[in-house]
Chain A
């Protein structure tokens, strides 16, 4: 009789299925996982410590770089925490803009997720389709903030600026000209809201396309049905939130249960899973894309009808307009103080959370009354999810680990912070 020993295997940190810089030390019994020890922190940048040395507003840009596929949702949590301590509230139009961009971000994130998860499990085509729509939404990011990913668009007291009147167009190039150019620019003739209107009218049919590739696909179901089953009890013990929790059938969504921005006024549904396996979480996220689409449409409709300010008129927090600054001494002083020293936030502490695409993204903020935060802690959903890896994949096959990494929807910017 031959002696069989367990094998210790290293996975990552450079591996296409590791979604960045995950390193796994796996103890294997043949193809079966006996124990997994994830090593994280390879992307640790000390964001929380850096934020302590800068005025509040200068750290908004760091938030984009945490979960770098759901940028504005991270900003939202941080900005909400500051607003809570300051005791200010963004104007209604800014709240609608935030709601709309949170949902655009959710679609961006889920498109990235569906593409990369399918790629991990051997379906090559989906990512090509997903990135087609991601491109359009990144153009929206660019139109509103000037940056395609790291927007730094939300500010305490509102958003940086109002929505643009003109959507950017493709220019003529050797690859796009004539009728072709006209076709790709056909949505872009009007304002950004017109573009979003056209996009959202079309997007459900695009989701149908992804579903056609996957939902009834035999290989996809073999790789996901019954894999990585998370019971509702287990999900709560391990601090899971978002689709990981809803996939297990727990009806919990901060947008419904503890509404912020304008979610209380929105008409949308929360999908929940039944079995808590990778396939159910897939279905939940696909349905979330459709629901986000609905929310965006409602916001577009409201934003078209209701112009107004997008920033509070409190010059101790928000800078005065450029024109005003050139003419008024008072405004010039405010501008100077804001951009050199920043504003002081009253002493206190708060925890503000948003329903980010991956789960509950929270910001625990402690201020001692200074112009810099005393302590910022960012609660990343991926960090809590990944910690349950060992418990869930024990007894699964090696290939299922990859399915599990995909279904966690991990991004190491937020796990490592």
Chain B
């Protein structure tokens, strides 16, 4: 994909939709963020207008931004106490249902997002749309099933895993989880070990559900190192141990 094509996509989008879209281009990938209320109109225009012709919706998925950028192991300030062992964190996989992280009760309008990947076969280019849900206790996004019918299952999947409700979807049922499943398992406050386990009970002669018996166990702490190479080089430059 050439650069001129790419810059022209961001430019074309800005010219056509103005303030409706917030456009960023990183590494030749164009991302447009928009409000849920504008989604249907923008999507229809992107599909039909000759300048865009995004004939295919490649993918739609949910993202839960709860805990984005949180780290379990502070590595920047090594004090006299030394490093912790990094085993007490609360990140993904390290809590059960009772110990799940709870928000402070306030609405986080940028917690749930639906991310859409579009593909224009005619112009050979891609576009990513992101729609944040305004209310995190009842995340709603309008359904795109009337624009691209193929989004049907992707929306069902996102509803199943994240609990994002697609307004206007003809058949919003669970798709990937078990029949009778409770909860939305890909949310960041849903435990990795789950809540129930299934086994065959020879006495009752049927499959039964029980509360999980396993313990949450993640061995590697979640760590964020910003430009580790750079920081290390800087620290080494400041350190005069070589001279002493």
Contact = CB atoms under 8 A, between A and B. Distances in A.
Interface size of B as a range:
35 or more
A103 interface: no
A371 interface: yes
Contacts of A344: 223-226, 228
Contacts of B124: 257-258
Contact of A55 (B69, B115, B126, B220): B220
Interface of A: 40-41, 44, 46, 48-50, 52-55, 84, 236-241, 250, 252, 257-258, 316, 340-342, 344, 346-351, 353, 360, 362, 364, 366, 368-372, 374-375, 377, 379, 383-384, 386-388, 391, 416-417
A359 to B, nearest CB: 10
Interface of B: 1, 26-27, 29, 31, 55-59, 61, 63-64, 68-69, 71, 91-94, 115, 117, 121, 124, 126, 128, 148-154, 157, 174-178, 185-186, 192, 218, 220-229
Given A53-B218, A387-B153, A351 B224 contact: no
A84 B55 contact: no
A258 B226 contact: no
B149 A370 contact: no
A10 B130 CA distance: 38
Contacts of A371: 220, 222-225
Contacts of B117: 351, 362, 364, 379
B69 A348 contact: no
Nearest to A377: B61
A369 B224 contact: yes
Nearest to A376: B61
B139 to A, nearest CB: 16
Given A237-B148, A364-B59, A364-B61, A40 B29 contact: no
A375 B229 contact: no
Nearest to A54: B220
Nearest to B225: A344
A49 B185 CA distance: 8
A346 B224 CA distance: 9
B63 A238 contact: no
Nearest to A49: B186
Given A53-B93, A53-B218, A377-B63, 6 more contacts: A44-B177, A53-B91, A239-B150, A240-B56, A350-B29, A377-B115
A379 B186 contact: no
A360 to B, nearest CB: 6
